[in-house]
Amino acid sequence: MAMFVRADKGNCAACHVITRSANGEPPVFTDFSYDNLGVPSNTDARFYTASFTDPGLAANTNVNDPLLNGKFRVPTLRNIEKTAPYMHNGVFTDLRTIVEFYNSRDTEPQRWGETEYPDTINRSELGNLKLSDREIDAIVAFMKTLTDQI
């Protein structure tokens, strides 16, 4: 949990909020804001059409602002272990790859490949976290504690 929360480590709670809501409800792991993480295009032939890119928030007809291109709402992380594939385009299928992406998006661009809306990417809170393998494992382990017991 510390690796998830600490601003000098994962910094995940900056968006996937871990504190209770103002009305005392348990955390939902989102601040309900929108962000462009620069996730890679999903080039899996089952999903990919070269002529289509998803502008996210900017697709809402009430929104007329190119600065919002590629922004998607911060999703909850409750039961995240059970809800692959991940991201708006399903490009990631396991949690460790996601943390590796947050960790090295900007230091290993060739590993992650093309993204669709580079101009609006959040470059201040993620992309070069300098996490060790153990710290990445710890964040994955924490996310797996968010699974309901049935």
Residues 40-69 that bind ligand HEC (CB under 6 A): none
Choose the stretch contacting ligand HEC; rule: CB under 6 A; options: 45-53, 60-68, 106-114, 118-126.
118-126
Cβ distance 73 to 34 under 8 Å? yes
Check residue 102 for interaction with ligand HEC (CB under 6 A). yes
Q: Residues 121, 123, 129, CA angle at the centre, nearest 5°?
A: 130
- The pairs formed by 103-108 with CB atoms below 8 angstroms and a separation of 24 or more are 103/128, 103/129, 103/130, 103/131, 103/136, 104/128, 104/129, 105/37, 105/38
116 binds ligand HEC (CB under 6 A): no
Residue 136: CB minimum distance to ligand HEC, A: 9
Q: Which residue has the tokens 């960790």?
A: 103
CB of 28 to ligand HEC, least distance (A): 12
User: Which residues sit at the interface with ligand HEC, rule CB under 6 A?
Assistant: 10-12, 14-16, 35, 37, 39, 72, 74-75, 77, 80, 83, 86-88, 95, 98-99, 102, 122, 125-126, 139
